Structure formats: structure tokens, C-alpha cells
Amino acid sequence: MVRSWRNVMRFRFLVLAGAVAIVLGALAGCGGQAGSTRQPAPGGGAEQAGGPGVTITDAWVRAAAEGDMSAAYFTVTNQGQSAVRLTGVRTGVAGEAEVHESMQEGNTVRMQPVAAVEIPAGGRVTFAPGGYHVMLMDLKQTLHPGDRVDLTLVFEGGLEVPVTAEVRDTAGTSTGGGGGEHSGGH
């Protein structure tokens, strides 16, 4: 009976050791790429990588006062073999963050929330003034030029990509301030 118990324990140990070896081998094969982040240079433009071939570049946010609205802009590049869909954004600097699209209706530009933005395989989508952007509503703090804002881009299927965006002053430029053209009762 003792010999049988030792054999059972030895067998369990070998199974457990094999499972651990398989998991460690799989993790080593990932090379630490998934979810890795490179911090942006002071001028922006650094890449920040997420899951399967998704990179974020040129992330920036408009300067704005506490309690106001701002907007975040960036470029999403999908080097993967299938499309990805951006479905949301999280940040600690705003009460609410929504993906929006600007729409021209006659002489008026209106903004409206969108459920998702598809980035095609091998393609890119630029979030820029006058197009797709992320509205940051009910700011919890003043965003000063040169500050950094952490955002988490959430994609369908569970992929989350952390991004650090530089705050820029856009007063007096053609892109205007944060949310001036926004309509929709937010």
C-alpha cells in the first residue's frame, strides 16, 4: 500500500511538473510582447504596443480645466491578420470617456457616440479633430500642457492597450479647444 501511494504521488508530481513546463514554454514563446508598453518621448509619437499587432502612436489630449470636457487623439495601427474593434476607453482623469465621431450636417458639425470603431487587418485609423476621437467628460483635474494622461483602449475580445498621451495646448489653432463643437447634451 505504501509503495502504491508513493507511485501515485510520484505520478502526480510528474504530471504537475510537465504542466508547469508547458505553461512556462508557452509564456517564453510569447517573448513578453503582449501588453508591452514603450513610454512616449516628450514630443509624442512613440509607439505603444498591445496584443496581436496593435500599436498606438501620436497620442495626445487637449488641455482643459477641471470639470470641463477634453478630447483624446491617436492613431491605431493593426498589423494583425484580422480586423480589431475599439469598443471603449478608460481613464482616471475623467468621469466618463466615450468614443465619438464628428459628422457634418449642413453647416453644423455634430458629434455622436459610436459603439465601436473597426481597424482593418493591415490598416490604421487616425483619431483626429473633425473625425473619430475620445471625449473625456467631467474632468477630475485640470490638464496642463506637458502633463501626461493614462488611457486604456479596450478592444472587442478582451484586448486592452495602455496608452500615455501628452497634453497639448490647442488654443488659437484651427482645432479649437476641448468640446467646443460638441452637441448631444453631455
Number of H helices, E strands in the chain: 1, 11
Say yes or no: 60 and 19 in one domain.
no
Q: What pLDDT score does 52 carry?
A: 64
- Structurally, how many domains does the chain consist of? 2
Say yes or no: 126 and 68 in one domain.
yes
Residue found under cell 478582451: 158
Host domain of residue 3: 1-31
Give the side-chain half-sphere CA count within 13 A for 42: 2
Whether the CA torsion 66, 70, 75, 78 is positive or negative: it is positive
Say yes or no: 70 and 143 in one domain.
yes
Question: Per residue in 120-132, pLDDT tens?
Answer: 999 999 999 999 9
Say yes or no: 62 and 126 in one domain.
yes
Over range 162-167, report the average pLDDT.
Answer: 97
Say yes or no: 96 and 124 in one domain.
yes
Say yes or no: 4 and 68 in one domain.
no
**pTM (predicted TM-score):** 0.68
Rounded distance between C-alpha atoms, residue 133 and residue 117, angstroms: 10
